Amino acid sequence: DQQVKQNSPSLSVQEGRISILNCDYTNSMFDYFLWYKKYPAEGPTFLISISSIKDKNEDGRFTVFLNKSAKHLSLHIVPSQPGDSAVYFCAANKSYQKVTFGTGTKLQVIP
């Protein structure tokens, strides 16, 4: 039962353009959502999060949008840089409970 889904296994974007990574979830009890970035041979690194009481959170080039009615969130990276090339994991949890990860989207930013 995949409660957090990232339906695009990979994405290629030109440097300087916007990268949009999408994530859907099925558990309406989730109230906290996170994005992690993972480079090869490294553990995931926390990128940005959003609480279910908000619909947008911005941190520099990274913005996360949450649409609770659609059970959908997205991560926007603008402008995209070659160093952003990595696997991005969407994750979600209900307060004080386990974090559930999606399967990841591999982003390639082409110089």
Partner 1 sequence: ETGVTQSPTHLIKTRGQQVTLRCSSQSGHNTVSWYQQALGQGPQFIFQYYREEENGRGNFPPRFSGLQFPNYSSELNVNALELDDSALYLCASSLGPSTEAFFGQGTRLTVV
Interface with partner 1 (CB under 8 A): 4, 6, 32, 34, 36, 41-46, 49, 89, 91, 93, 95-104
The amino acid at 62? F
Residue 59 CB, nearest approach to partner 1 (Å): 12
What is the C-alpha separation between 79 and 23, in angstroms, rounded? Answer: 20
Nearest residue (CB) to partner 1, 17 versus 54 = 54
Closest to partner 1 by CB, 73 vs 91, is 91
Pairing of strands 72-77, 86-93: unpaired
Specify the residue, 80 or 101, whose C-beta has the smaller distance to partner 1. 101
Q: Which helix (H) or strand (E) is 108 found in, with range?
A: strand 105-110
